Amino acid sequence: MRPRTDLLANRYELSSPIAGGGMGQVWRGRDTLLDRPVAVKVLRDQFAGNATFLARFRAEAQHAALLTHPHIAAVFDYGEVPAGPDGSPLAYLVMELVEGESLADLLAREGRLDAARTVDVLGQAADGLAAAHAAGVVHRDIKPANLLVTPQGVVKITDFGIARSAASVAVTGTGQVIGTAHYFSPEQAAGGQSTPASDVYALGTVGYECLAGRRPFEAENPVQIAVMHIHDVPPPLPPGVPAGVRALVERAMAKDPHVRFPDGAALRDAAEQLAPGMPTSPTRRATTAVLPVLGPGTAPMAAPPTAARARRRRAIPVLAGLAAILLAVAVAVAVLAVVLTGRSDPVPPGDAPVATTPAGIEVAAEDHLGRPVQEVQAELVGRGLRVELAAVETADVPAGQVTALDPVGTLAPGDLVLLSYAVPPVPVPAPVPPPADSRDDEREDRREAEEEARKEAREEAKKAEKEARKEAEEARKEAKEEAEDERKDAEERRKEREGEGED
């Protein structure tokens, strides 16, 4: 059988495009050899001949091939078809076909997610990142477009195109900022090294967008957004977000990497601790319901009058006998308790425990200042307070330690506490003296030029005056000589006339 010329690498049949990114285009396809649906990512033609982009595309295949996890889109194959008539090779990556949509499309359609769905998405994505981080791979471009969600709610991470592996050579230059500006970690925005905590920040930013329905920072260009990630605090999340979920996202988005969850595993564990307390989301399968306990003011539903009521009346004598036996047992237990404890006075009815309203929560600044912010945050949240983090640049306090709390004193459950913590100040280059005003230089140049011109003019004037005097002197001398000559001529003519008269 002759190979089919319409198949990619004589194996993969491409049917329709399903997504597109900066480096490549993703097609829905079929593996004709194994007869299974696949997704095929093809490097764009304009990058196929570029050695840097080709190396980055190979790196995506290598990084993703290291990872086998339910929350990471699997990679099946990679290949490069030799150059065609146009001289450009064709590089392709064959992946698991994930039926569903990206989280970006989901948010565009629904606007925002409730707290339960957000925690579920974060937990699943963090579980996938935990596997990547354990393998030494940092994704570096976590964003809603790279999180795929199936109709069953399963989240899968995709696009490891700019991932960095601790065991591989970097394909980006030192100090090169790479990723998507809206989800930059502060260290990425500053051109620093990406770590698993950088992926945690990006995923925390995704969680913020899910809860708020907007990105934490918006500006006119990526550079301004990157600067905001370094210095600015995002607007508060909506008031209805539970305190535990709010604290989870705020810690994931801490400016200081040492304050964040260190990696995907830590963020996953924190999300799993929150999940049981979340209300069941409409899009998730309902768990086993727990019937409420009847309270003092709750009356059981009255049963309709039936023939069974007569049978219960006949059973009253039997129940009375059982009640008498139980009462005797209770008395015996009470007597035994008196003997063992030595207490003979029963508890007065008035001393019985009664339900009281929750007391105020005492918060003293001296109990928390100088402690790690994550410990203080967890303690305050555990006591029923809401916590908002605020990074303060200072070199006087070690990074990650609490510098201030507001308010303090007696607080009510659910009150918001602003927890300030220290972060290292961003190095600021030494001020450079401003250049001299060019207008001053121009005026000085003009003044010097005018002075030089005046000097030359004076010298020229003196020279001209000297020349004029010399010429005048010469003219007077010549005139005198001419006058003398004329006088002599006249004297000679007179003598000649006188001599002629004598003759």
Predicted TM-score (pTM) of the model is: 0.55
Q: Which helix (H) or strand (E) holds 12?
A: strand 12-20
Among this protein's residues, is 159 annotated catalytic?
no
Of 391, 388, 375, which is closest to residue 246 (Cα–Cα)? 388
pLDDT value of residue 436:
55
Structural domains of the chain in order of their starting residue, each with its CATH number:
12-96 (3.30.200.20), 101-277 (1.10.510.10), 365-423 (3.30.10.20)
Residue 161's pLDDT is: 58
Q: What is the predicted pLDDT for the residue at 356?
A: 45
Residues 6+ apart with CB under 8 A from 370: 397, 401, 402
Burial class (CB in 10 A: 0-12, 13-18, 19+), 283: middle
pLDDT of amino acid 83: 65
122: tokens are 């974060």
Question: What does each of the 503 residues of the chain score in pLDDT, given as a tens digit?
Answer: 344 557 998 999 999 998 876 677 899 999 999 999 999 999 887 777 777 777 877 877 777 777 889 999 988 998 888 766 666 678 899 999 999 999 999 999 999 999 999 999 999 999 999 999 998 889 888 999 999 999 999 999 998 755 554 434 333 443 344 557 899 899 988 888 889 999 999 999 999 999 999 999 998 888 899 899 999 999 999 999 999 999 999 999 999 999 999 999 999 999 999 988 887 544 443 332 333 333 333 333 333 333 333 334 444 444 445 455 555 545 454 544 444 444 444 444 444 444 444 568 899 999 999 998 778 877 887 788 887 777 787 888 888 888 998 999 998 888 888 888 887 775 555 555 555 555 667 777 778 888 888 888 788 778 877 887 787 788 778 878 887 888 888 888 888 877 777 66
The pLDDT, as a whole number, for residue 415 is 85
Q: Tell me the CB-side half-sphere exposure of residue 251, using CA atoms within 13 A.
A: 28
**Within a 10 A sphere around the Cβ of 166, how many other Cβ atoms?**
9
Contacts of 187 (CB under 8 A, 6+ apart): 193, 194, 195, 198, 257
Find out whether 258 and 400 touch, Cβ atoms under 8 Å: yes
Q: Pick the catalytic residue from 141, 159, 199, 263.
A: 141
